[in-house]
Amino acid sequence: MEATKFSRQSSYQFVLTILIFTLLCISSIKAASSCNTTTPSGSTTSNSSNYSTPPPKSSTTIPSNSTKTNENTTIPSHQSFMTYVKHSCNSTTYPSICFSSLSPYASKIEGDSFKLCNISLTLALKAAQSAVSTITKLSYNGNLTKTEASVIQDCLDNAKDSIDELLQSLQAMQHLEGEDKAFQLSSIKTWVSAAITDDTTCSDEFEEENFDGTVRDQIKKMILIAQRMTSNALYFINNLYY
């Protein structure tokens, strides 16, 4: 009887021991698992940096291909504009006065044929106005004979007509548009041609009369400049494809 009781107690103790041992093992496993899932404070920054989005590239960084593209891009320069004016003037009747008068405006012309025509006409107009100013001053010369005074007045009238025709041409160039562009361009050519004729008529009158050499030379010089610049402007207009 006592032996049986002792055997039962031993069995209970054995089962209890096994149960305690099992609980201890489970507790150890949980503790180990908790340690592995806890991120150390020192390594938080490291893990964050490993998975953070890389910072964007600087906006000033240019890929090598873009650089090549930019380097190969042709940017019009003052020299290229000068070359355009030089090449254009070489085809005119008076290339020397053409280039000397237009080269200061190369950057404004910008290699544009329409701007070339406008500026050429504007300069021709200024030359005609200068000629009229000079002729007007010389007409007040009290030493002129009656014939000389008459010739100067005729020349002055022609030069003024030239100015009117150039003004009409410039105004028409500013409104060269619409379906009748061809007609407008034709009118411009007619006016510029008439201005050249007026200048030529003025100059020729001094060849038909005995005239004071100094006065004659001054007037003819100014008229000749206006006539040649107008002739060059007409050449550009005749070759304008608008």
Domain ranges of the chain: 78-238
DSSP-assigned states of every residue in 88-116: HHTTSS-HHHHHHHHGGGHHHHTT-HHHH
Residues 189, 182: Cα–Cα separation, whole Å: 11
- Spatial separation of the C-alpha atoms in residues 211 and 7, rounded to whole Å: 162
Locate tokens 């340690």: which residue? 35
- In this structure, what token pair is assigned to residue 238? 């005749």
Q: Taking a C-beta distance cutoff of 8 angstroms, is the pair 152, 219 a contact?
A: yes
Higher pLDDT, 65 or 115: 115
Q: Which of 166, 156, 176 is nearest to 222 (CA)?
A: 156
**DSSP 8-class letter at 123:** H
Residue 197: CB atoms within 10 Å: 16
pLDDT in tens, 44-99: 444 434 434 444 443 333 333 333 334 455 556 888 999 999 999 999 999 999 99
Taking the C-alpha atoms of 177, 183, 185 and 191 in order, what is their torsion angle to the nearest 10 degrees?
A: -130
Q: CA-CA distance, 113 to 185, in Å (whole number)?
A: 14
The residue-averaged pLDDT of 97-109 equals: 96
Q: What angle do CA 103, 106, 109 make, to 5 degrees?
A: 130
Per DSSP, 54 falls in state P
Q: Among 66-80, 149-163, 186-200, 226-240, which stretch is predicted with the lowest mean pLDDT?
A: 66-80
Q: What CATH number should be reported for the domain whose range is 78-238?
A: 1.20.140.40
Average pLDDT value for the chain:
78
